[in-house]
Amino acid sequence: MPPTTLNDFQSSAAALDRAASDAFASAGSADTLEKARAEFLGRTSGRLLDLQRLVPTFEGAERGSAGRAFNELKTSLEARLDARRIELESTARASRSDVDLTMPARRQFRGAEHPVTLVIEEIVAIFREIGFTVATGPEAETEWYNFTALNFPPEHPAMDLHDTMYVAEDVVLRTHTSPVQIRSLQAGPPPIRVVIPGNVYRLDPFDASHAPMFAQIEGLAVDEGVSFVDLKATLTHFAQRFFGATRTRFRPSYFPFTEPSAEMDVECRLCKGAGCAACKGTGWMEILGSGMVHPNVLDAAGVDSEKFTGWAFGMGPARIALQRYGIPDIRVLYDSDVRFLEGLAR
Ligand SMILES: [Zn+2]
């Protein structure tokens, strides 16, 4: 068995998924479907079995990833096979009996996971591999958790009624997932390594690139001796895993809760940095904001900022989903239009 990389394994799995799905879908009779089943899911010589044999050639976390990818593929192909079998049986039944063939057919509704969910799950999986756990928190937060503890000055414009949805005098619909950073820091002493997915709310117009509710995902790492090197190395690793990006760049930025702060861009995959419509001619895609956790934030959460340091990042899975799936308008993600999800289902 030739040694293979996890990337090769994953692309083989994707190719197998496409080939098997196409074969099942185009099978016009029980016999051809059975041939397709034997080719892909055969117990002694199927193509899936060849892929399974590669799983034990990986070590450690990679073996886990390969095993999971294999199991997901197997489950989904078995489900597709069953669904197609039922379709063919009902067609065969219909042609045998004296039912009214002029009646409109009942469509098979086949759903799919929402693109934002898929993006979040993939991001979480990458950080899980390197020791991060998932943390969540309430969507209605006090001003203290949402702003004050995160080093927002009392007169910061984000706290304005025009920007933030207030539920009560001192309670807001969280404007970012960062309050969960404070809650994670309060929950126990460092080391802390968490990723925080969740929905956030802002008084933004509902247009092609804004929505008043959207998903965000953040990360936080706090320990003794954590430096900007850890931030750069970890986020670059993430960019390579998630985007297959060969290059990243960090640009200075400003956030109240980090100092120094940086935006990370990844090289545009479509044009490899040459500049195209997708990257607005820059050759780079803006992906996330990051920075070293401000000492005031650690102090507010009761963590000794003389002893501990940390870094954090935040990004918008919806924007990443738009890029990845070539969706031109963010509203499509929130419209609950079944035709959209059916289009993504295969
Ligand atoms: Zn480009």
pLDDT tens-place string over residues 280-334: 899 998 999 999 999 999 999 999 999 999 999 999 999 888 878 878 788 888 8
Residue 313: predicted pLDDT: 97
Calculate how far, in angstroms, residue 285's C-alpha sits from the geometric centre of ligand 1.
8
Calculate how far, in angstroms, residue 305's C-alpha sits from the geometric centre of ligand 1.
41
Name the residue among 214, 226, 201, 186 with its Cα closest to residue 310: 226
Calculate how far, in angstroms, residue 280's C-alpha sits from the geometric centre of ligand 1.
7
Calculate how far, in angstroms, residue 321's C-alpha sits from the geometric centre of ligand 1.
16
Residue 3: predicted pLDDT: 60
pLDDT-above-90 percentage for the chain = 58
Calculate how far, in angstroms, residue 318's C-alpha sits from the geometric centre of ligand 1.
19
Residue 246: predicted pLDDT: 74
Residue 310: predicted pLDDT: 97
Calculate how far, in angstroms, residue 283's C-alpha sits from the geometric centre of ligand 1.
5
- 214 pLDDT higher than 80: yes
Calculate how far, in angstroms, residue 289's C-alpha sits from the geometric centre of ligand 1.
20
Calculate how far, in angstroms, residue 327's C-alpha sits from the geometric centre of ligand 1.
16
List, for residues 61-119, the tens digit of each pLDDT value.
899 999 999 999 999 999 999 999 999 988 887 777 667 778 888 777 777 788 899 99
Calculate how far, in angstroms, residue 243's C-alpha sits from the geometric centre of ligand 1.
13
Of 192 and 276, the structure prediction assigns the larger pLDDT to 192
Report whether 267 contacts 246 (CB < 8 A): yes
- 250 pLDDT higher than 70: yes
Of 79 and 3, the structure prediction assigns the larger pLDDT to 79
Q: What is the mean pLDDT of residues 123-128?
A: 97
Q: What is the mean pLDDT of residues 42-60?
A: 88
Calculate how far, in angstroms, residue 326's C-alpha sits from the geometric centre of ligand 1.
13
List, for residues 251-292, the tens digit of each pLDDT value.
999 999 999 999 999 988 778 889 888 788 999 989 999 999
Calculate how far, in angstroms, residue 269's C-alpha sits from the geometric centre of ligand 1.
6
- Mean pLDDT across the chain, nearest whole number? 89
Of 341 and 287, the structure prediction assigns the larger pLDDT to 287
Calculate how far, in angstroms, residue 249's C-alpha sits from the geometric centre of ligand 1.
15
Report whether 257 contacts 294 (CB < 8 A): yes
- 220 pLDDT higher than 90: yes
Calculate how far, in angstroms, residue 273's C-alpha sits from the geometric centre of ligand 1.
6
Calculate how far, in angstroms, residue 282's C-alpha sits from the geometric centre of ligand 1.
7
Residue 346: predicted pLDDT: 46
Calculate how far, in angstroms, residue 316's C-alpha sits from the geometric centre of ligand 1.
19
Residue 208: predicted pLDDT: 79
Calculate how far, in angstroms, residue 267's C-alpha sits from the geometric centre of ligand 1.
8
Calculate how far, in angstroms, residue 265's C-alpha sits from the geometric centre of ligand 1.
12
Q: What is the mean pLDDT of residues 222-227?
A: 97
Residue 344: predicted pLDDT: 67
Calculate how far, in angstroms, residue 328's C-alpha sits from the geometric centre of ligand 1.
15
Mark the residues whose beta carbon lies below 5 A from ion ligand 1: 268, 270-271, 276, 278-279
